[in-house]
Structure 1
Amino acid sequence: MSLDASVGSTPSFKRSLQIVWVGVRRQPRWFAFAVAGSALYGVMTVLTAWAIGKVTREEVQPAVAAGHATAAQLWTIFGWIAGVVVVNVVGVVIRRIAAGYTMYNVAAGFRREVTRQYLRLPLSWHHRHPSGQLLSNANADVEATWNVFAPLPMAIGVVIMLVAGIVQMVLVDPVMAIIGLTVFPLLFLANMVFQRAMSPRVSRAQQLRAEVSEVAHESFEAALIVKSMGREQQESDRFEEVTRRLQAANVEVGRTRGTFDPVIEAIPTLGTLAVLAVGAHQVANGALEPAAVVQVAYLISVLAFPVRALGWVLGELPRTVVGWDRVDAVLKARGELEFGSSQPERRGASHARLDRIDYAYDIVDEAGEESTFQAIHGVSLEVEPGTTVALVGPTGSGKTTLTNLTLRLVDPDRGHVTLDGLDLRQVARGGVSSVAALVPQQTFMFDDTVAGNVTLGGDYSDEQVWAALEVAQATGFVRELPLGIETRVGERGTSLSGGQRQRIALARAVIRKPQLLVLDDATSAVDPAVEQAILAGLRASSAGTSVLVVAYRMSTITLADQIVYVEGGRVVDHGTHAELERRCTGYQRLVTAYAREAAERAALAADEEVDA
Structure 2
Amino acid sequence: MADKVVLRQGLRVLGVAIREEPRIFAAAVSASAVYGVMTVGSALVLGRVTDDVIIPAFRDGHTTAGALIGAFAAVFGVALLKAFGVIGRRLWAGVMQYRLQATFRRRVTRQYLRLPLAWHHRHPTGTLLSNANADVEAAWNPVAPLPMATGVVVMLFVAAISMVITDWALALVGFVIFPAIAALNIVYQRRQGPLAMRAQELRADVAEIAHESFDGALVVKTLGRESEETTRFAAASRELADANIAVGRVRALFDPILEALPGFGVLLVLVVGTVRVSHGNLAPGDLVQVAYLFTLLAFPVRAIGWLLGDMPRSVVGYDRVRGVLDAEGEHTYGETEGGDAAAGPARLEARAVRFGYSDDTDVLHDVAFDVEPGRTIAVVGPTGSGKSTLVSLLVRLVDPVDGGILLDGTDLRDYRRGGIAATAALVPQQAFLFDDSVRDNITLGLDLDDAAVHEALRIAQADFVAALPDGLDTQVGERGTTLSGGQRQRIALARALVRRPRLLVLDDATSAVDPRVEAAILHGLRDAGPATVVVVAYRKATIALADEVVYIEGGRVLDRGPHHTLLERSVGYRRLVNAYERAAREDAERELDTDIDVSEAEEATAS
- TM bucket (normalised to shorter chain) is over 0.9
2:511 corresponding residue in structure 1: 524
Task: Give 1:27's aligned residue.
Answer: 21
Q: Report the Cα distance in structure 2 between the residues aligned to 1:532 and 1:389, rounded to whole angstroms.
A: 15
How far has the Cα of 1:605 moved from its partner?
A: 5.6
Alignment of 1:167-566 (within 5 A): 167-344=161-338, 346=340, 347-362=343-358, 372-476=360-464, 478-542=465-529, 544-566=530-552
Shift of 1:425: 1.4
The CA deviation at 1:509 is 0.3
Q: Distance in 2 between matches of 1:252 and 1:67?
A: 58
> How far apart are 1:372 and its partner, in Å?
4.0
Which has the larger displacement, 127-136 or 28-37? 28-37
Of 188-197 and 272-281, more deviation after overlay is shown by: 188-197
Aligned counterpart, 1:365: none
The amino acid across from 2:109 in the alignment is T
Quote the offset at 1:440 in angstroms: 0.6
2-structure distance, mates of 1:250, 1:325: 20
What code does the residue aligned with 1:479 have? A
Per-residue deviation, 1:15: 2.6
- Counterpart selection for 2:99 from 101, 105, 110: 105
Contact 2:339/2:422, CA 8 A, preserved across alignment: no
Query: Following the alignment from structure 1 to structure 2, what is the Cα–Cα distance between the partners of residues 153 and 20?
Result: 11
SS at match of 2:209: helix
The aligned residue for residue 557 of structure 2 is: 571
User: Which residue matches 1:367?
Assistant: none
Paired residue type of 1:561: D
Alignment correspondent of 1:47: 41
Specify the code of the residue in structure 2 equivalent to 1:184.
Answer: F
Read off the aligned partner of 1:425 and give its amino acid letter: R
* One-letter code aligned to 2:321: V
Q: AA paired with 2:507? A: D
1:128-143 residue pairs with structure 2 within 5 A?
128-143=122-137
Structure 1 counterpart SS, 2:434: coil
The answer (yes or no) to whether the contact 2:339–2:419 under 8 Å persists in 1 is no
Q: Which amino acid counterpart does residue 355 of structure 1 have in structure 2?
A: R
| Comparing 518-527 and 344-353, the one that deviates more | 344-353
**1:157 to partner: Cα distance:** 0.4
Query: Does the 8 Å CA contact 2:355/2:401 hold for their aligned counterparts?
Result: yes
Q: Distance in 1 between matches of 2:339 and 2:588?
A: 44
Q: Distance in 2 between matches of 1:354 and 1:291?
A: 90
Counting only pairs closer than 5 Å after superposition, residues 150-169 of structure 1 correspond to structure 2 as 150-169=144-163
Give the whole-Å Cα distance in 1 for the aligned partners of 2:421 and 2:143: 41
Residue identity in the other structure for 1:441: Q
**2:115 aligned residue:** 121
The letter of the residue matching 1:248 is: D
**How far apart are the structure 2 equivalents of 1:9 and 1:569?**
52
Instruction: Return the alpha-carbon distance in structure 2 between the equivalents of residues 485 and 9 of structure 1.
Output: 60
Shift of 1:604: 4.9
- With normalisation by structure 1, the TM-score equals 0.94
1:537 Cα deviation from its structure 2 partner: 1.5
| Residues 353 and 383, structure 1, Cα contact 8 Å, conserved in 2 | yes
Q: CA deviation at 1:447?
A: 1.7
Match in the other structure for 2:51: 57
Deviations 1:480-501 (A, max 9, x none): 2222111222221122111111
Whole-angstrom distance in 1 between the partners of 2:64 and 2:524: 98
Deviation of residue 8 (structure 1)?
5.8
Contact 1:11/1:199 (8 A) holds in 2: no
Taking structure 1 as reference, are residues 483 and 68 closer, same or farther at Cα in structure 2, changes over 3 Å only? farther
The Cα shift of 1:147 comes to 1.1
Q: Name stretches of at least 5 consecutive residues in structure 2 with no aligned partner.
A: 600-607
Asked whether the equivalents of residues 6 and 315 of structure 2 are also in contact (C-alpha less than 8 Å), the reply is: no
Residue type of the alignment partner of 1:493: G
Measure the CA separation in 2 of the matches of 1:10 and 1:177: 30
Does the residue aligned with 1:342 lie in a helix, a strand or coil? coil
Residue deviations 1:333-385, cap 9 Å, x none? 111111111224721100111111111113xxxxxxxx643111111121211
Deviations along 1:127-168, one digit per CA (max 9) or x if unpaired, are 100000000000000110011110000001011111111111
8 Å contact from structure 1 (residues 11, 321) kept in 2? no
Unaligned 5+ segments in structure 1 are 1-6, 363-370
Deviation at 1:206, TM superposition (A): 0.6
Q: List per-residue Cα deviations over 1:230-268 (Å, max 9, x = no partner).
A: 100110111111111111111111111112112211211
How far 1:591 moved relative to its partner? Answer: 1.2
Flag the 1:422–1:345 CA change in 2: closer, same or farther, 3 A.
farther
Q: Which one-letter code corresponds to 2:254 in the other structure? A: F
Aligned residues of 1:11 and 1:318 also touching (Cα < 8 A): no
1:76 positional shift = 3.6
The Cα offsets for residues 458-502 of structure 1, whole Å up to 9 and x where unpaired, read as: 1211111111111111132x1222221112222211221111111
Query: Using the alignment, how far apart are the partners of 2:99 and 2:293 within structure 1?
Result: 35
In structure 2, relative to structure 1, the CA distance for the partners of 1:20 and 1:75 (3 Å cut) is same
SS of the equivalent of 2:362 reads strand
2:575 to 566, 583, 589: 589
Moved more, 389-398 or 73-82: 73-82
Equivalent pairs: percent with the same residue?
53
> Cα deviations across residues 398-455 of structure 1 (Å, max 9, x unaligned)?
0000011111111111111110000111111111111100001111111221111101
Q: How far apart are the structure 1 equivalents of 2:467 and 2:4?
A: 63
Tell me the amino acid that sits aligned with residue 469 of structure 2: P
Task: Find the counterpart in structure 1 of residue 605 from structure 2.
Answer: none
| Contact 1:344–1:422 (8 Å) recurs in 2 | no
In 2: Cα distance, 1:606 partner to 1:535 partner: 26
Instruction: Output the amino acid matched with 1:390.
Output: A
Alpha-carbon distance, 1:308 to partner: 1.2
Which amino acid is the alignment partner of residue 442 of structure 2? V
For 1:592, the aligned partner's letter is N
* 1:253 partner amino acid: V
- State the one-letter code of the partner of 1:234: E
Contact kept, 8 Å, 1:9 with 1:200, in 2: the verdict is no
User: Partners in 2 of 1:81 and 1:482 — Cα distance?
Assistant: 70
CA 1:598 to 1:54, structure 2 compared with 1: closer, same or farther past 3 Å? same
Cα shift at 1:538: 1.4
